[in-house]
Structure 1
Amino acid sequence: MLCLLLLCPSLAAAAELVVRELRDDPPAAEVLAGLHDARLLPPEPQPMLRQPAREAQWWRIEARQPVPADDAPQLVMRSPFLYRVEAWPPGARAPTRHSLYGEHADDRYSHRALVIALPGGIPAGQAVWLRVEYRSTMASPLSVEPLDQVHREDMVFMAWRSLVLTCLAVLAVLGLAFWGGTGERSYGYFSAMLVCAIGYLASISGDLRWMPGAETLFGSGPQANRIIACLGVMFSNLFQGSYLDLRRKSPLFDRLLHAGTAIAVLGVMLSLGSGPLPARVGNLALLYSALVLLLASGWLALRGERAARVVLVSWSALMVFCVLAAAHMMGLWDGPSWLGQGLAGAFALASLLLALGLSDKLLQLRRDRDHASRQATIDPVTKTFNRHGIEERLFQAVERARARDEPLSIAFVDVDRFKEINDRHGHSIGDQCLRIVSWRLRNQLRRQDGLGRYGGDEFLVVLPGHDARSAGRIAERMRVSVNCRPLSMPDASIPVTLSIGVAELGPGESMSSLFERADTALYASKSAGRDRATAAAPPEGLWTT
């Protein structure tokens, strides 16, 4: 459907103008007098101008029907690139000069086209003569439009152009921010790719003609544009290879993509010179890299790679536009006048979708980090906190209790005679016993309470908001929940009891003191015959945190 849409508009307005070429540069007086009309080439199939062979030559533009002067008609020459034009409208005694860059750039109109006034229209039997300097394989469509229509199209063009370039610029800044925050190289390559895209689109279309030195940098030749384009291909390949992780997931496609990067680097070096070879090398790098990326992302997408699907969705339209634009620049086909704007829009769309993909990758990295953090604080047997995790939970609870002046208690829980269980039934049964005990303990606790395996057969319970009395009641419920019935497993049924020591945090008491008192209460329970909960005595003396 996209190809059909591209092909159909290219036939529009084909019957309005007749464009004929004079491949020579005789004096203007002779050309205007008609002395060289016999040497004019046959009319172009479509009303467009392309001169890849000479530095300066003449073009004759006739209208099939007379063009009246009532609506202030303008001859519009789209995508002029580096052409420098001298125009002789019918009846003019002196030419008007037009170019995208330099002193003849007309800031009354947007840079989408060169606009040549036809004050007398185009009467029957007369023509507009254009003397065009510079060679280019890019076609420049010609049309005659009323001045009001020119202004309307200029406003639409500028709104679209501003949207596209602003979108690319914002995404480039976000990429740099992500790169600085995460250290991921793919974000840096992404930003560099977008900067090159902005530079290429702006320089080839004249968006930067207001910049001091733009005429020297961009208007004197295609070298700067070609260098920016080749750098864009290079950074695009680096970004896609990093984002898709081709080095690890597909070494073959990684090597093929590096070959495309090498061709782009060669294009950068050749672009320092002149001639058509740099443009061909740059277009080759673009087409080759686009094909490799399409195959690589398609193959990885079939294997279920999420990043590859993002590349396929985001990059497909841009690949199509890049290939068509490259073919248009190489003179292989004549694209529609809006092909350049479609390419700019495809850049913005692809960049936006890729930015969403990068954000998804960033979220995945965060999920992986959180998962790793959880794994570092979780006991693999009971799936409760390990010693480090429960101590961190206790530290936070102590800080909160002191800030809010709320009570806080802890309970040390020990499984009685656990070594005998391991010796008699084996460590696998012992681990299963610990899991069942932890489930029964958790069932007696609130969501905000903390439970962690502190040692081999010891658990630490953090009880924020509970004083010693209420914590003792909870400890009693935990004890009863375990000893009320044996621990049932497929290979055994084992009766288990608990010894518990409870302590409440005193004013200004340190965590180490709180631990010592709870531990002393635990040993008191064991000494008294096990299967019981004992409350620790209040702290004595002054304590400092």
Structure 2
Amino acid sequence: MDRSWRLLWQTLLALLGLSAAALACAQPFAVSRLGPGVDPPLAQVLSGRLDARFAPQQGERIVYSGRKPQWLRLVATAEIGEDELPQLVIDQPYRKFFDIWRHRDADPVRRALHGRGSEFQHSSRFVVYPLEGGLRKGEVIYLRTWATEFTPSTLRVEPLALVHRQDMSHVALRSVVLTALGATAILAFGFWVGLRERGYAYLSLTLLVQTVNLAVEGGEIRMLPWFQDVLPNRRTNVVLNTAAVIASVRFLVFYLDLRATQPAVTRVLNVCSWVLGALLLVSLVHTWSFSASFGNLMLLTVILTVAYASAVAIAQRQREAYFLLAAWAPLLAVLVVLVGGFQRWWPMFAWLEYAYPIGLVFGGLGLLLGLAAKLQKLRHDHDTAKHRATYDRLTSVMNRQAIEQALRDAIHAAHRTRRPLTVVFFDIDHFKRINDQHGHSAGDEALRSVAERTRQRLRSTDLCGRYGGDEILVGLPGTRLEQGLVVAEHLRRAVGANPPSLNGQPLNLSLSMGVAELRAGESYEQLLERADAALYASKAGGRDRVTVQQAAGEEVPI
């Protein structure tokens, strides 16, 4: 078994060595550069008098150590024919400028994503310089470059067809990323407008700033001419990234409810927000060489604090923390690697070019779903609390406060629309005797049974509530007195014919009921007073009956 593993490792190492050798052979240039900060006159460089001062370097990466221009001398190591239309390709061109000279060029050719030298024949992934007529072995190309962005770039030669394929893939991916981020930001904004939940506003602002920042960083926004002076400015990067971090912090404080659950963490994040806010305001006027580094260190502080807060929230079984972990853990890891690359703690890896925007998309969508789940839970809790405040727990019909308000609203609507409305007011005969003889559990069962039978015989638009004790109040919108009488009589007979059982024995019940129809200009109190008078007339008349209140002081037993 050990021998097999040894053989496998030897094979992999051999393949790796072959790949490295192949790559070394495939390198089109021998690259050398002048010392950092050396920017001699153009004529001296092109004359070849300074060639001896160019120091060879390993690989074909352009490493930026500052904003001063640097010179590179590229010597072709192999013959490259013109059949495949070779192109000199330089990746990671964001906020960088390249002046290129060949022996046949009278003037330098400027290449950049923005400003003079920008061209729209290719995507913003790289700048392209056509090697017309191919490249002879030993041919020299001089390249002068300067930048406000210190991510290394790589030189390579590729056929035009391959460049176009890479262009299309890059544009397709960036279009999906920017569209998804922008759509998610707009969706979150729409939710904020409709629901007035500030969490959606924070999320929308976070995603919107990140979308603009990606479009600026990636060069897509260069299509707008009035942004040409903004794009190469380092201040733009600092301002947009700082604003994005501040919005993210405020969203996370809201999303994890940190003010209530982790006040100490909230204080740390508040301090970070104030410091970043000060950096944002100062950066609008001026930026220093350390502005971006300071912002990156604050971002790392925020990331570590959020990671700690998420771990505590998960330990507390906070549902939102699971969404945050699933949505933002990969993005936070990418951000740590990205910040480390900017700070030159480790190399700036090529995969970060796509890992960061893709992480933003999945993070935004994941948090949108998580926020929706959080608000759904809040809505459920609100509905539960509202139900408890509206409905009687014993009978499951409305409580007194709710039925009074609902009936007042129904009376107001009936007066406005000139539609009829009838109320039925009743209670259980000898209810106190039932409690005394059979216990309060029997009385509770009697109330539940009567309330259930009442609900079963009402329409969805009808109103039913426990007014107090054993009294039930029913409102019948759109119903005249004669129809209300029929409803009351059916209910009285249903309760008498199907009594509830208690310990296997029937609990005989009867109802005394009063019915009254709303009159023109009549108030809730006046209508209820007439229905109550009809109810007591039923009791005085022998109980187990329905009495209709027609004229003032006139009750008609049925």
1:390 corresponds to:
403
- Looking at structure 1, the residues matched to 478 and 281 of structure 2 have their Cα atoms a distance apart, in angstroms, of 72
How far apart are 1:130 and its partner, in Å?
Answer: 0.5
- Looking at structure 1, the residues matched to 363 and 23 of structure 2 have their Cα atoms a distance apart, in angstroms, of 31
SS in 2 for 1:218: coil
SS in 2 for 1:114: strand
1:415 corresponds to:
428
Aligned partner of 1:239 among 226, 251, 265: 251
Query: Is residue 322 of structure 1 aligned with residue 352 of structure 2?
Result: no
Aligned partner of 1:16 among 27, 31, 37: 27
- Looking at structure 1, the residues matched to 352 and 218 of structure 2 have their Cα atoms a distance apart, in angstroms, of 12
1:43 corresponds to:
57
Letter in 2 for 1:317: P
CA change 1:270–1:508 in 2 (3 A) is closer
2:270 corresponds to:
258
Note the 1:340-419 alignment, pairs <5 A. 340-391=353-404, 409-419=422-432
CA change 1:43–1:160 in 2 (3 A) is same
CA change 1:376–1:258 in 2 (3 A) is same
CA change 1:276–1:508 in 2 (3 A) is closer
CA change 1:63–1:526 in 2 (3 A) is farther
Note the 1:121-520 alignment, pairs <5 A. 121-134=134-147, 136-219=149-232, 221-265=233-277, 267-268=279-280, 271=283, 272-337=285-350, 339-391=352-404, 409-419=422-432, 431=444, 433-443=446-456, 445=458, 449-462=462-475, 472=485, 474-483=487-496, 496-503=509-516, 515=528, 518-520=531-533
Letter in 2 for 1:247: R
Letter in 2 for 1:242: F
Indicate conservation of the 8 Å contact 2:151/2:348, yes or no: no
Per-residue CA distance 1:506-535 (angstroms, 9 max, x = gap): 899987776455434322211111122334
Letter in 1 for 2:276: A
- Looking at structure 2, the residues matched to 194 and 508 of structure 1 have their Cα atoms a distance apart, in angstroms, of 56
SS in 1 for 2:62: strand
Percent of aligned positions that are identical: 38
CA change 1:276–1:110 in 2 (3 A) is same
- Looking at structure 2, the residues matched to 466 and 135 of structure 1 have their Cα atoms a distance apart, in angstroms, of 79
* Count of matched residue positions in the alignment of Structure 1 and Structure 2: 530
Letter in 2 for 1:502: V
2:95 corresponds to:
82
- Looking at structure 2, the residues matched to 276 and 13 of structure 1 have their Cα atoms a distance apart, in angstroms, of 36
1:5 corresponds to:
none
Identify the range of structure 1 (520-529 vs 208-217) with the bigger mean alpha-carbon deviation.
208-217
How far apart are 1:465 and its partner, in Å?
Answer: 8.0
Indicate conservation of the 8 Å contact 1:55/1:135, yes or no: no
- Looking at structure 2, the residues matched to 94 and 480 of structure 1 have their Cα atoms a distance apart, in angstroms, of 106
Indicate conservation of the 8 Å contact 2:428/2:509, yes or no: yes
1:3 corresponds to:
none
Letter in 2 for 1:20: S
Structure 1: stretches of 5+ with no match in the other structure: 1-9, 541-545
Indicate conservation of the 8 Å contact 2:199/2:254, yes or no: yes
CA change 1:68–1:181 in 2 (3 A) is same
CA change 1:124–1:183 in 2 (3 A) is same
TM-score normalised over the length of structure 1: 0.83
CA change 1:105–1:347 in 2 (3 A) is same
- Looking at structure 1, the residues matched to 369 and 154 of structure 2 have their Cα atoms a distance apart, in angstroms, of 37
- Looking at structure 2, the residues matched to 398 and 356 of structure 1 have their Cα atoms a distance apart, in angstroms, of 43
How far apart are 1:68 and its partner, in Å?
Answer: 1.7
SS in 2 for 1:454: strand
- Looking at structure 2, the residues matched to 100 and 165 of structure 1 have their Cα atoms a distance apart, in angstroms, of 18
Indicate conservation of the 8 Å contact 2:425/2:515, yes or no: yes
